[in-house]
Amino acid sequence: MIPVLIVLNAGSSSVKFQVYDMPDGTEPRLVWKGFYEGLGGAAHFVVRHAGGVDLDEKSWAPGEEFGHEDALMHLVSWLRQHQEGRSLAAIGHRVVHGGEAYSSPVLVDEAVIQKLETLVPLAPLHQPHNLEPIKIVRRRLSGMPQVACFDTAFHQTQSDIASLFALPREMRERGVRRYGFHGLSYNYIASVLRDYDPHLAEGRVIAAHLGNGASLCALDNGASIATTMGFSALDGLPMGTRCGAVDAGVVFYMLREMKLSPEEAERVLYTKSGLLGVSGLSNDMRVLRANAAANADARRAIDLFVYRITREIGSLVAALGGIDGLVFTGGIGENDVATRSEVIARLAWAGFTLDEAANRAGGPRISSGPGPTAWVIPTNEELVIARQSCSALGARQAKLAS
């Protein structure tokens, strides 16, 4: 029997999953991938072969109230029916916040769940949804090994100064500091950079994860030394619906003068801002690009996005003391030719020259000339979760054997 691992990435109404074979001592191998969406309403399940060919799908009517627990149990039973020579050995989870306690993946037990629950106030829109499947598995598949892999962990290499806000000391002592997110994505980029350019992997690199959420990470010899997201996933770049960095005074103005409740202000900053808020049209870059010529607000939203990316790159170049390479990843970074070319055009001062044909072709290298290099590298956060889960489980095996 080949042991298999399920990797779960759970959101409020969706669960993305991947299933990996875990051959002894080698890289986990993707077998199936898919998702449940519309959970709690009209749910829909799709599963594909690793190569992308559709394998199975199913829909549930809105009245069936098919939720997260139903989805997980459905997935486990689907696996049992299709696993041929495989057996479910463990589940790896994406968890957005590991706080100060976890700088690496952790095997889940009751104490870990309790610790992760205390971090819910730090990531109220993500952490509860990440923890829910962990609790469901503990309840319904008692004894199943589970590993939590954190978006914050990769940034724990940052210096004390890089993670500090200029707030009173007691705030820092109560966990108010910069954590940083998208760490699973940056971990993947750092892990594969050597395959693209061994010299660059040891150099000063800025990775730009531009998706619905967006951030930048400064990598020095593969380690995170600074990032644009901070205490929460709101900070830094404007995103699909999140504002990115705003003056904290704006929040007090919203509360005191505009009479928004804290919940209303939070909703504005997380769900009504960013590309959607500025354009008044969409959070989807494809829609904005299609309308930019005729719609001035769509153009402004894109221009602000590009301007903020290049300004923050300037700040990270200063933190790194120079730049050897820039990597684009995430839905926009991997697919939007125009965003890449607009960003690189604004970085001529740093010595970047765009190779337009390579950019149109999607890379991997999209720069030319002697200056710093620019790249498009598709991210793979699920593979990082699979790798981290295998190594945490391997360490447990070794401990049990000794």
Q: Which residues bind ligand ADP (CB under 6 A)?
A: 211-213, 240, 284-286, 330-332, 335-336
Give the nearest distance from C-beta 159 to ligand ADP in angstroms: 27
Q: What b/e string do you get for 125-137 counting C-beta neighbours within 10 Å, with b at 16 or more?
A: bbbebbbbbbebb
> Closest residue to ligand ADP, Cβ-based?
331
Give the nearest distance from C-beta 150 to ligand ADP in angstroms: 17
Give the nearer residue to ligand ADP in terms of CB position, either 66 or 181: 181
254 among the known binding-site residues?
A: no
94 among the known binding-site residues?
A: yes
151 is known as an active-site residue: yes
Give the nearest distance from C-beta 99 to ligand ADP in angstroms: 22
Give the nearest distance from C-beta 36 to ligand ADP in angstroms: 16
Give the nearest distance from C-beta 213 to ligand ADP in angstroms: 4
Q: Which residues contact 263 (CB under 8 A, 6 or more apart)?
A: none
Q: Which residues contact 274 (CB under 8 A, 6 or more apart)?
A: 238, 239, 240, 241, 242, 243, 244, 283
332 among the known binding-site residues?
A: yes
Contact 154, 104 (CB under 8 A): no
221 among the known binding-site residues?
A: no
272 among the known binding-site residues?
A: no
Give the whole-angstrom CA distance, residue 277 versus residue 238: 10
Tokens 């009504």: give the residue. Answer: 272
DSSP letters, 42-59, are: S-EEEEEETTS-EEEEEE
Give the nearer residue to ligand ADP in terms of CB position, either 250 or 290: 290
Give the nearer residue to ligand ADP in terms of CB position, either 163 or 339: 339
- In DSSP terms, 218 is beta-bridged to 206, 226
Give the nearer residue to ligand ADP in terms of CB position, either 213 or 277: 213
213 among the known binding-site residues?
A: yes
Give which of 253, 369, 378 is closest to 328, Cα–Cα.
Answer: 378
> Which residue type sits at 57?
E
Tokens 């939590």: give the residue. Answer: 148
Candidate list 21, 151, 235, 324, residue with the active-site label? 151
Annotated binding-site residue numbers for substrate = 94
Annotated binding-site residue numbers for ATP = 16, 209-213, 284-286, 331-335
Annotated active-site positions, please? Answer: 151
Annotated binding-site residue numbers = 9, 16, 94, 209-213, 284-286, 331-335, 381
